[in-house]
Every structure is written in structure tokens, then in C-alpha cells.
Amino acid sequence: IVLGSAPVGQLWEQAVKARGAVGIVSTADAPYIRPDDPATFTAADQWDVLQWGSVPYDPERKAFGFKAGLRAAARMRARLREGSVRLKVTVRSAFYDGPARSLIAEIPGTRRPDQRIVMVAHVQEPGANDDGSGCGTLAALAIAIAAAVREGALPPPGRTLMFMWADEVAGSRHWLASHADAARRVQYMFALDMTGEDTSKTGGTFLIEKQPDPSAVWPRPSDPHTAWGASEVKAASLKGSLLNDLHLAICRRRARDVQWIVRTNPYEGGSDHTAFGDAGIPSLLNWHFTDRYYHTNLDRPDKTSAAEMVNVGVAVATSAWFLASASDRDALAVVDLVAQAAADRLGLERRQGASAEIMTAWTKWYREALASVKALPVIGPTADVDARVGAAIRALSAAATR
């Protein structure tokens, strides 16, 4: 049995595969969970934290892999210094076939029930924040909207609000593939992942991971990536929509009211927004990062914050209901909002020395974002909205060539 600090998969390859060990114990954690050097620890729990990992399945060797915190590993090393150690290891594990179940709830739209605003939280991860908090936030916001509609405090949505709890990404892809007709008419999508963090304990902030925009293709000083890291996004795949700026504005309104910290990050991918985004649906992720308990044994209820869950729930519910119910007057306001965001972005990019290629990409993206507002009113496109969108696009093009 090999005890080591290499990542569990690497250790398994080296010890089991190459050298015939019967199993391994790894202490590796991502650097944002725990620095390598105990002298730089800032919290006592860094001695006991351990992050999930996985080893390949080898039906012949049936070798095992464990993760250990540094305190447990230090005890094992102390015993090893005293001489040979006998270990008894019990592993109970099984593969089984069975259905992967998803739970879907809907509040049907009154005017365009075929057009959906979809919200998804994933059920397969066991952490309190990841993604117990996303599942709970989604349940609470669905119940709150349904109750408000039933009591007459809120008009029913014009489009359908759909809430889904499913196996991350796979459940979303399954729904998209098995409901192709409905999927084609999904208007917007929100993923909820790690939405309940007590950031005084976990670090990080609330983040909107934006639908892919030019900041996902060209690194921008104003739009840093998280410790999760960038993924490759092709410029040709970008298609602007109103979603990023509308949801950011609604989150900022909430933030102003309750002193909430709201930031954004460029698209990185990896949760259900990736599945819906790949299907061409404007999709974004509500999450928190960095979290120094991410995918660890210490992602427990004491790291969550009810107030933070309320903030995310209120913001997502507001954006979703608004997108499902917007009038032509609402759409006119959104044209102005997106036009202002476009002007702010072009100004920011000029100040941070963007190349002509990047300026062109943002102009194109915002032209498409403005055009997307035409489809926002539930009653369908109107002459007023079309005219305001046309004027805003002309003004944007004029500003871009100045």
C-alpha cells in the first residue's frame, strides 16, 4: 500500500499499475483547498480536509484508492517510522444498473406554454453547498413563485417556468435529446450550483458565469477567470443575447438592497449550462467560487448561508419570471439596458487597449444581444420594440466606427 502526496489518479498509475501495489492513499488537494506547506496554513481544518478523487477501475487488480487528510497521513507516517505496519482494509463497492431519475416541475405559461425558461440544479453531488444548496435554492424559489401565483400576489408567467433536478450535465442532455421539440423552444436557461455559500467561511463570492461572450475567447483584464480555469471557446460559436446583462442588472438591484457581493466570470463550463448552451440556448450559471471546501469532506451545512441562498433565489426567480412574462414596455427598458451595457463595454475595452479584432467581436456580440430583445415580449415582436432595437443597433454601429 503506497501513501503519497501525488494526485490520486497519478499515484494509482505509478504504484498499482506500474509497480503492483494493492492500493494507495493520497493526500493531494487542489492548491485553493490547501497550500502544500503546512507552515502557510491559515485554518486548523486544513489538517483534516480531503478532496474527492477517483481511480480507474481495473477488474483484475481490484486495487483501492483512499484520500487522507494531512493529520491522518502524519499519524500513518509516524507509525511507519517505527517499523512495518499491517493494515486491514475493507472496501464495500459495487456497480449496478438502474434508472437515472430526474425530477421536473413546471408552472405553465398562460400565453406561450411551449416556450420555456429552464432552471436546473444537480442531485448527484453530496456536498451541502455543492449542490445541496443549489437543489434547495431551486426548490424554495419554485415553491415561492407557485405560492405567489396561487395567492394572486404575482400574475402567472406568460411562458412556462420549468424546474429540473437531475444528474449534472447528463440529465440535462437526456432531457434535451428526449424532448427535442420542447428543447427547440427553450428561451433561456439558468444553472444553480453552490448557490448557498457562507463566503466568510468558504472564501470567494457569488458569481454569474456568463453565457459565452468575447471575454471567454480573448482574456480581458476586466474579466478574470476563476481558479476553475478557462475552457476553449471558439469565436465563431459566439451569439449575443440579452441574458448576461439582464440577469446581472437584476442581481445588482438585489445587491444594492441587501449589501450582497455580485461578480461575473467568463464562461468556463462544466455544469448544466454547458448542456443547454451546446444546444444553442442562452444559458448561464449561478455559483460561488473559489470555495476552499469544494468537493471535500468538509462541504457541510455549517458552510452554508440561508441569506445567501435567499439572495440567489430571489435574483434567479426574478429574472426567470421576468423573461417568462415581459411586456413590450419591459422589452423597451431592456433595449436601453443592453444598449447602455454595450456602450460601457466598448468604452472599457478602449481603455484596456483592446485590438480591432476584439472591438469588432464585442460590437457583433452586442448587435446580436440587442436583436434578441425583439423576441422578449410574450405577445410577440411589436413595432415599438423593433424600432427601438433598430435605433440602438444603428447607434452601436456608429459608436463602433468612431
Give the one residue of 29, 193, 245, 349 binding Zn ion; rule: CB under 5 A: 193
Rounded-to-integer distance, Cα 373 and Cα 101, Å? 35
Question: Could you tell me the smallest distance in angstroms from the CB atom of residue 120 to Zn ion?
Answer: 11
Q: Which residues contact 297 (CB under 8 A, 6 or more apart)?
A: 48, 49, 50, 69
- Segment near Zn ion (CB under 5 A), from 47-55, 183-191, 192-200, 367-375? 192-200
Query: Quick one: cell of 7?
Result: 494526485
- Segment near Zn ion (CB under 5 A), from 34-42, 106-114, 169-177, 188-196? 188-196
- Segment near Zn ion (CB under 5 A), from 16-24, 68-76, 190-198, 242-250? 190-198
Rounded-to-integer distance, Cα 41 and Cα 225, Å? 24
Question: Could you tell me the smallest distance in angstroms from the CB atom of residue 291 to Zn ion?
Answer: 10
- Taking the least distance from each CB to Zn ion, the nearer of 130 and 245 is 130
Whose cell is 429574472? That residue is: 319
Question: Could you tell me the smallest distance in angstroms from the CB atom of residue 96 to Zn ion?
Answer: 23
- Taking the least distance from each CB to Zn ion, the nearer of 130 and 349 is 130
| H or E segment and range at residue 344 | helix 328-351
Question: Could you tell me the smallest distance in angstroms from the CB atom of residue 316 to Zn ion?
Answer: 16
DSSP 8-state assignment for residue 263: E
Positions 220 through 249 that interact with Zn ion (CB under 5 A):
none
Torsional class of 169: left (φ above 0), alpha (ψ -120 to 50), beta (otherwise): left
Question: Could you tell me the smallest distance in angstroms from the CB atom of residue 126 to Zn ion?
Answer: 10
Question: Could you tell me the smallest distance in angstroms from the CB atom of residue 125 to Zn ion?
Answer: 5
- Is the bond into 213 cis (omega within 30 degrees of 0)? no
- Taking the least distance from each CB to Zn ion, the nearer of 197 and 213 is 197
- Taking the least distance from each CB to Zn ion, the nearer of 228 and 365 is 228
Query: Quick one: cell of 205?
Result: 463570492
- Taking the least distance from each CB to Zn ion, the nearer of 131 and 291 is 131
Judge contact between 373 and 338, C-beta under 8 A.
yes
Question: Could you tell me the smallest distance in angstroms from the CB atom of residue 344 to Zn ion?
Answer: 31
Binding mask 104-133 for Zn ion (x = CB under 5 A): ---------------------x----xx--
Whose cell is 441574458? That residue is: 243
Q: Which residues contact 305 (CB under 8 A, 6 or more apart)?
A: 196, 197, 198, 199
Rounded-to-integer distance, Cα 28 and Cα 49, Å? 10
Rounded-to-integer distance, Cα 157 and Cα 245, Å? 21
Question: Could you tell me the smallest distance in angstroms from the CB atom of residue 14 to Zn ion?
Answer: 29
Beta bridge partners of 4: 26
Rg of the chain's alpha carbons, rounded to an integer? 24
- Taking the least distance from each CB to Zn ion, the nearer of 23 and 204 is 204
- Taking the least distance from each CB to Zn ion, the nearer of 148 and 227 is 227
Question: Could you tell me the smallest distance in angstroms from the CB atom of residue 397 to Zn ion?
Answer: 40
Question: Could you tell me the smallest distance in angstroms from the CB atom of residue 52 to Zn ion?
Answer: 11
Task: Say how many CA atoms lie within 13 Å of 336 toward its Cβ.
Answer: 6
CA distances (Å), origin 47, targets 33, 44, 54, 201, 297: 11, 6, 21, 16, 12
- Taking the least distance from each CB to Zn ion, the nearer of 192 and 217 is 192
CA distances (Å), origin 269, targets 187, 206, 232, 286, 367: 19, 16, 10, 12, 24
Strands 103-107 and 159-166, by their bridges, are antiparallel
- How many residues contact Zn ion, by CB under 5 A? 4
Q: Which residues contact 247 (CB under 8 A, 6 or more apart)?
A: 190, 208, 284, 315, 319
- Taking the least distance from each CB to Zn ion, the nearer of 126 and 219 is 126
- Taking the least distance from each CB to Zn ion, the nearer of 292 and 388 is 292
Residues that bind Zn ion (CB under 5 A): 125, 130-131, 193
